[in-house]
Structure 1
Amino acid sequence: MSEIHYFPRYSQKENMVTNNTLLLFSRLYQNNPKKFTLFINSILDDDKKQLNTTVNFTQQESSKSGRIADGVISQDSFKVVIETKLYGQEQIVQIIGHWDSFKQEDNQVFLWINKEPIPGDYYDKIIDALVDYNNKNGTNIKFASTTFKEICYASKGVLQDYDLEMAALIEDYENFCNDTGLIDNNDNKVRVVLTGKTFAENVKYKLYFHPMKRGYQNAKYIGLYQDKAIRAIGEISGIVDMQYDEESDDFVFYKDIKGKSTQQTKDHIKEITKVSKTKHGYPAEEERRVFIVEKYYQTKYKKASSGGLPGVRYLDLTEINGYQEGMDAKEIAELLDGREWGI
């Protein structure tokens, strides 16, 4: 007998995803409006005004004329316009068109839902366009972005142990997201990279770089490989595209792809660019993608099979005995230390 699903799997994909997500929101609200309020605010940006989606019941409320009503039933005026993106489309004009949906609501939020967090440079473009739109139209629209994975975490986070039916519904929504590729396994992956020459500099400056045009898959962690072993693990906190100019000792261009660079990060990128040329012969003028970590943790996860690592490899931590989701880079390094892996 086939399993019964709360959320249909067979339809035009983008419409199906939007409908199922709205159905989840609706069921959360029907189940408990106060829990829905906690949920919706948890997926909006922290600096946004908190929405109150519940109906308020008050008595003996005074009006402007001084008259006192026996009772009042009210609800804050708000509107959340949702746009689901499945394929990473970046079309500002299309987004601006959605903002015309807002009227005179007291609280206006445009919510972007995607498979992955919105890139920093595209976020800046949206905010610039939104500021201009609000100024021209007298609106006060706020922008917030989230992912399908964050929706699953946030919806489970407002439940109690006894909310069994809602727990089953959210589990089915999460399974739907997994089945349709809306949730990936990036948080449990280590991108293993070759660092034979630059290992010491990578650890010292807490980063790793490669040519900007080289492809890569998203991963939460980066592992530095040297002498037939992964010898350091770090969590990726930022990604930068850049090109350095030796003559001016400055960047030709510098773009944050993930996170927000500090001056120390920029200084470290300059320093490793200079060192990698003078010490290892890497061209300083190369266009590069730089991965920044908070800290590398030493480990020794030895490659047991013969030969070296032929290139970049992605390590799925869920296949490692003893791994638990939520482990940080230090715990992962300790887990792998002294073990062996094949290829």
Structure 2
Amino acid sequence: MSEIHYFPRYSQKENMVTNNTLLLFSRLYQNNPKKFTLFINSVLDDDKKQLNTTVKFSQQEKSRSGRVADGMISQDSFKVVIETKLYGQEHIDQVIGHWNSFENEDNQVFLWINKEPITNDYYNQIINELNDYNNKNGTNIKFASTTFKEICYAFKDVLQEYDLEMTTLIEDYENFCNETGLIDNNENRVRVVLTGKTFAENMKYKLYFHPKNRGYQNAKYIGLYQDKAIRAIGEVSGIVDLQYDESNDDFIYYKDVKGKSTQEIKNQIKDITKESKTKHGYPAEEDRRFFIVEEYHQTEYKKTSHGGLPGVRYIDLLEVNGYEEDMRAMEIADLLKGKEWDVL
């Protein structure tokens, strides 16, 4: 007998994904408006002004005319316009067009949902356009962005053990997201990189770099590989694209792709650039992508297959015995120590 699903799976089109997401929101509101309010404010992540989606019952309320009504049922006016994206498209003109959907609501929010977190560049582009739109039209539209994975987390956070129907609902929605590729496994992946020559410098400066034009898939962790084993694990806290000008000891350009660089990080990038040229002959002025970690934690995750590592590899931590998703990088390093893996 086939399993019954709350959410249809007949297509991967954006309108079907949007319909399923709205169905999820609607079912929670119908089940418990107060929990829906907690959930939607968690998704919108706006601490300045929280949406109140519940109906309010009151008595002896004075109107503007001074008359006192015996009772009143009211609800705040709000509208959340949702744009879902399956493939990371960034079309600012399309986004601006959605803002005309707002009318005279007291609270107006444009919610952008994607597979991956929004990039710094696109976020700033939307905010700049939105500020200009608000100024020209006398509106006060707010912007929020989230991912399908974050929606699942936020939904689960408002549930209790006895919310059996809603628990079944979110489990099916999460399965739908996984089956249709809306949730990736980046949070549980280690990007294993070769650091035969620069291992000491990577550890010292808490960085890893490669040419900017080299391919890259998102992963939460970096694993430094040397001598047939992953020797250190670090959680990626920032990514920077840059080109260094050796003659002026400055950057020709410097762009934060993820996170925001401090002056200390910029100094470390300069230092490792100079040191890697002096010690290993790496060119100082090539276009590079730098990965910043808070700390590298030493480990020894041995590769059992013959030969060296043939380029970058990704490890799925969910396949490692003993791994739990709330582990920190230091705990992951301890877990991997003494274990073995193979390159297929």
Q: Which TM-score band (shorter chain)? A: over 0.9
Secondary structure of 2:101's aligned partner: coil
Give the partner amino acid of 2:63.
S
Structure 2 match to 1:186: 186
Secondary structure of 1:100's aligned partner: helix
Structure 1 match to 2:33: 33
Secondary structure of 2:232's aligned partner: strand
Give the partner amino acid of 1:320.
V
Secondary structure of 1:243's aligned partner: strand
Q: Quick one: distance in 2 between partners of 1:334 and 1:12?
A: 40
Structure 2 match to 1:204: 204
TM-superposed deviation, 1:145: 0.3
Cα contact 1:57–1:74 (8 A) shared by 2: yes
Check if 1:317 corresponds to 2:321: no
Question: Unpaired segments of 5 or more residues in structure 1?
Answer: none
Structure 1 match to 2:90: 90
Q: Quick one: distance in 1 between partners of 2:49 and 2:204?
A: 41
Check if 1:163 corresponds to 2:177: no
In the TM superposition, 1:319-338 aligns within 5 A as 319-338=319-338
Q: CA RMSD in A?
A: 1.1
Structure 2 match to 1:102: 102
Structure 1 match to 2:2: 2
Note the alpha carbon deviations across 1:262-290, whole angstroms, 9 max, x for none: 22111111111111111111111111111
Q: Quick one: distance in 1 between partners of 2:90 and 2:47?
A: 24
Q: Quick one: distance in 2 between partners of 1:37 and 1:233?
A: 39
Q: Quick one: distance in 1 between partners of 2:128 and 2:272?
A: 33
Identical positions, percent? 82
TM-score (norm 2): 0.98
Q: Quick one: distance in 1 between partners of 2:67 and 2:29?
A: 34
Secondary structure of 2:182's aligned partner: coil
Note the alpha carbon deviations across 1:277-333, whole angstroms, 9 max, x for none: 111111111111111111110111111222111111101111111111111100000
Cα contact 1:121–1:255 (8 A) shared by 2: no
Structure 1 match to 2:118: 118
Q: Quick one: distance in 1 between partners of 2:34 and 2:173?
A: 21
Q: Quick one: distance in 2 between partners of 1:122 and 1:116?
A: 12
Give the partner amino acid of 1:83.
E
Residue correspondences, number: 343
User: Which stretch shows the higher mean deviation, 222-231 or 60-69?
Assistant: 60-69
Give the partner amino acid of 1:22.
L
TM-superposed deviation, 1:12: 5.5
Q: Quick one: distance in 1 between partners of 2:28 and 2:296?
A: 41
Q: Quick one: distance in 1 between partners of 2:47 and 2:262?
A: 21
Structure 2 match to 1:81: 81
Secondary structure of 1:149's aligned partner: helix
Note the alpha carbon deviations across 1:184-208, whole angstroms, 9 max, x for none: 1111110000011111111111111
Secondary structure of 1:295's aligned partner: strand
Q: Quick one: distance in 1 between partners of 2:12 and 2:122?
A: 27
Cα contact 2:12–2:180 (8 A) shared by 1: no
Q: Quick one: distance in 1 between partners of 2:61 and 2:181?
A: 51
Question: Unpaired segments of 5 or more residues in structure 2?
Answer: none
Structure 2 match to 1:141: 141
Q: Quick one: distance in 2 between partners of 1:204 and 1:122?
A: 33
Cα contact 1:48–1:142 (8 A) shared by 2: no
Q: Quick one: distance in 2 between partners of 1:75 and 1:307?
A: 67
Q: Quick one: distance in 1 between partners of 2:268 and 2:289?
A: 14
